Amino acid sequence: MFEGLKNKLRDVRSRFGASIEETIQEAPKTSSSQPDSQIEQTPESLPYNTPEIPAGSPHDSSGSPSQKRWDKEGEKKVEKTSFFAKVKTLVVEREFILTEKDLKEPLFELEMILLESDVALPVTDAIIAHMRSSLLGRHRKVRQDPGEIVTDALRNALREVLGEGLNLPLFIRSHEKPVKILFTGVNGTGKTTSIAKVADFLSKAGLTVVIGAGDTYRAGAIEQIAVHAQRLGIRLIHHQEGADPSAVLFDTVEYARAHKIDVVLADTAGRFHNRANLMSQLEKIRRVMKPDLILYVDEATAGNDAVIRAAEFERTVGADGVILTKADMDPKGGSAISIAYTIGKPLVFLGVGQEYSDIIPFSPDLIINEILLDDA
């Protein structure tokens, strides 16, 4: 997943690291005091030396108890005095500060990589601004690893634009039942299959589900969702082909209430954001069903097109979250990085295969680790 972006970011991180390493080599030396605990004591550093005691004398340590007592008191005095009499020495501690000149080329290269990977322009700008703010003008010790400095800055920048996602089971459990979820999106993006995957995911989480076949226009749509429902053992509510989808979904909600079902998953016909009549029909469905969540479904491989369409759907009928399908087939990762930041709504799931279990709840670390962690 996102292999192309991962490889490009590995290269640009190396470029950043080389620039930082060059800055480190040119860093001036500054003086600071060495901590007391690191000073090694020598006899010369003590304020006085213990006098030698002739063998056999009355003060010989092998003699009287009074001499042994003197020895112990003398040792304590020497030890105490030496602690306060440590000599501070100067050590070299090198620091460096990154300037705009140091990072101009790597930042430009990072910007080009993000844009070429279909990361939306506002998101690219936000990432570059965060990197610049994190790296420039700060005092750093030369012992810091350049690679870690760059990776930490990029990790924090990505976390800022990715958002936190949405825990769907937790949302459902904390709201009045049935929780009504309406799925929207354009034709051919895997919306119906995604509904089946979400139904399987929620069932495994211990929630009861009913599906409403609201796509009454596309030939074979009802049969397609019926096959999924039968395989999963989930009840499907449907009318005949060409029926009013609002009526189908109204009946689905009523069924859920009567049978104390936790979740209603409502399918709808795919439509493009620039088809006013279809979008107005979707608005009617929204008014009748009164969904608790509207999830927009699109393909990760659509890149910036997915981001633009999601923004339009959010503007016209609303969107509370996004599901991106075919993430396993996307070498760029641009839409996955961009979509939540652009529309201000969370990315909820990533589809990563054909099986019902091939759906992953989104978390920022899911994408960050995918593109920043080097292969073992």
Higher-scoring residue by pLDDT: 373, 52: 373
DSSP E strands in 1-137: the ranges are: 29-33, 90-97
Residues 126-169 pLDDT 10s: 999 998 888 776 655 555 566 677 788 889 999 999 988 899 99
Q: Could you give phi then psi for residue 237, rounded to 5 degrees? A: -105, 125
- As a whole number, mean pLDDT of residues 241-269 equals 93
| Rounded CA separation 178/210 (Å) | 10
| Residue 7 pLDDT grade (very low, low, confident, very high; cuts 50, 70, 90) | confident
Q: What is the pLDDT of residues 89-108, one digit of tens each?
A: 333 345 556 677 777 888 88
Residues in contact with 234: Cβ distance below 8 Å, sequence separation at least 6, in sequence order: 199, 203, 209, 210, 211
Closest CA to 325 of 362, 306, 307, 300: 300
Q: Is the pLDDT of residue 49 over 50?
A: no
Domain residue spans in the chain? 3-32+91-162, 35-88, 168-372
Neighbours of 141 (CB within 10 A): 11
Report the percent of the chain where pLDDT is more than 70.
Answer: 71
177-203 tens-digit pLDDT: 999 999 998 888 889 999 999 999 999
Can you list the positions of beta strands (E) in the chain?
29-33, 90-97, 139-141, 179-185, 209-212, 235-237, 263-266, 293-299, 321-325, 347-351, 359-361
Q: Which strand (E) or helix (H) includes residue 316?
A: helix 304-316
- Secondary structure, 3-state, 198-258: HHHHHHHCCCCEEEECCCCCCCCHHHHHHHHHHHHCCEEECCCCCCCHHHHHHHHHHHHHH
Tell me what pLDDT residue 277 has: 64
Helix, strand, or coil (residue 154): helix
Tokens 């990085």 map to which residue?
A: 337
Tokens representing 113 are: 């990589």
Ordered DSSP codes for 26-42? TPPEEEEEPPGGGPPP-
The band of 266, judged by pLDDT with boundaries at 50, 70 and 90, is very high
Provide the CATH number for the domain formed by 168-372 in this structure.
Answer: 3.40.50.300
Residue whose tokens read 């050590």: 91
Give the class (CATH, top level) of 3-32+91-162: mainly alpha
Structure confidence at residue 138 (pLDDT): 60
* Residue 28 pLDDT level (bands cut at 50, 70, 90): low
Residue 93, pLDDT score? 45
Q: Is the pLDDT of residue 33 over 50?
A: no
d(CA 229, CA 184): 19
Do 187 and 272 touch, CB atoms closer than 8 A?
A: yes
**How high is the mean pLDDT of the chain?**
79
Rounded CA separation 352/359 (Å):
6
